[in-house]
Homo-oligomer: A and B are copies of this chain.
């Protein structure tokens, strides 16, 4: 089922600014036992992203009700798209414009199923992310870079591609945030210039702080990943996964992924 502005519908206005300009934000979240997982974080991130683009964010109870309504089976994935609404031609946003709200459900992708292996294979992408601090961190609808990067491979054995920015600094996966461990300390890229500050990333950072694991938010080249003891990707749909292979580099498990998978799902705050 798809709800558009609260009503069952399969389509959006052809003049919507989400289509015209990618003028909006989105969330992809997992349903668990009929409830949206990590909902407090998901809604907070949505509200933060809306504020960054001066979009009107819908109220939390109303949106949560719609999420639960579309996920009829109480499981799978729900995607929320918020746009600046339908508009006249021209880039200028109209102040106070009514947002368009799309809430839709889908089944879990194979790599996110409960029985999917914790280990994944990844590769480096050749596309370099552009540095745009005004949009960095936001999960907005301008995702052509992700589309082009994801189009670099069709080997189904490879779950994720890793991306650098134009300066050769490692930023993230195509659909995930990136973490690595070295000498008992946790590292994740700075996403203040490009990339998305995902909810799973924020939860892992909090979990590490609770456990007194030192965390470093860094700008590092690919060599830092290759020198890691364990490399992980995370997002709201797959949780955390261990990168067992990255092109030709292979890692034996060092145990961190299992630990952080548990920490990710603690709901202490």
- The interface-forming segment of A17-25, A40-48, A196-204, A261-269 is A17-25
- The interface-forming segment of A31-39, A89-97, A180-188, A216-224 is A89-97
**Does A151 sit within 8 A of B, measured CB to CB?**
yes
Interface size on A, residues (CB 8 A): 61
- Contact code string A70-108 (vs B, CB < 8 Å = 1, else 0): 000000010101011000111111000000001010100
- The interface-forming segment of A114-122, A131-139, A241-249, A252-260 is A131-139
**Does A226 sit within 8 A of B, measured CB to CB?**
no
Q: Are B21 and A131 in contact (CB under 8 A)?
A: no
Q: Are B143 and A81 in contact (CB under 8 A)?
A: no
Task: Give chain B residues whose Cβ lies under 8 Å from the Cβ of A154.
Answer: 92
* Nearest-CB residue, chain B, relative to A21: B143
Residues of A with Cβ closer than 8 Å to B?
Answer: 2, 4, 9-23, 26, 28, 53-54, 77, 79, 81, 83-84, 88-93, 102, 104, 106, 109, 127-132, 134-135, 140-151, 154, 166, 174-175, 194
Q: Are A150 and B13 in contact (CB under 8 A)?
A: no
| Bound Cα distance A54, B147 (Å) | 11
| Bound Cα distance A131, B148 (Å) | 15
